[in-house]
Amino acid sequence: MDDVELLAKIRNPETRSYGFNMLVRTYQQKIYWLVRKMVIDHDDADDVTQEVFIKVHKAIDTFREDAQLYTWLYRIATNECLSFIKRKRRRFFLPLADVAGEMTERIEAYEVAPGDEIQKKLQKALLTLPDKQRLVFNLKYYEDMSYGQMALVTGTSEGALKASYHHAVKKIEDFLKND
């Protein structure tokens, strides 16, 4: 079912529940993995992912179909991730470094095959980046999102996004070199 059909099902009161269920099934993995890469912990990712779809359900009638559904969903998801991390930091009175430190410890605890140690190092390197820069990196590196699409998701200029991504790559490579 494409997005046009999904939205038609949702806008019809008789098929709204079915249509929304299909929307969740279509996008749940994309949204979850975007969130998981940001918040690291599965339970946190589960909470945030649910919140994303609940907000989508509340706002779906205001969605303007001149925008892509995928872009709109990602926009809500990225905002929820950043809000979650900010709230976590505020709630526990944790400075930036401690939130990253807590997530780094979770990464360290993961058991990986010997050949995948580099993946742990990469994740630890990512956690040294500011949240928004890490988000930009994830969207580009893991999702292969175009800068144009990313600009619509983040409301930031393509130029700023390109600069942020390339700067992130440099920081990560420096981290890997020195680790």
Partner 1 sequence: MKRLDEIPKKTLFEVPEGYFDQLPGRIQARISEPEPQVAWGRLSLRYAMPLIIAGAVATFLLTNRPEGTPEEVIASIESEQLVAYLGETEINADDILDAVMLESIEVESLELDAIDDLELDEGVFGELEGIVVDSLKN
**Which residues contribute to the site for partner 1 (CB under 8 A)?**
17, 20-21, 24-25, 28-29, 32-33, 36-37, 40, 42, 46, 49-50, 53-55, 57-59, 62-64, 72, 75-76, 78-79, 82-83, 107, 110, 112, 116, 118-120, 122-123, 130, 132-133, 135-136, 141-142, 154-157, 159-161, 163-164, 167, 169, 172-173, 176-177
SS (H, E, C) the chain: CCHHHHHHHHHCCCCHHHHHHHHHHHHHHHHHHHHHHHHCCHHHHHHHHHHHHHHHHHHHHHCCCCCCHHHHHHHHHHHHHHHHHHHHHHHCCCCHHHHHHHHHHHHHHCCCCHHHHHHHHHHHHHCCCCHHHHHHHHHHHCCCCCHHHHHHHHCCCHHHHHHHHHHHHHHHHHHHHHC
**Least distance to partner 1 from the beta carbon of 70, Å?**
15
Whole-number minimum distance, CB 56 to partner 1, in Å?
Answer: 9
Q: Which is nearer to partner 1, 6 or 164 (CB)?
A: 164
Minimum distance, C-beta of residue 13 to partner 1, in the bound complex (Å) = 15
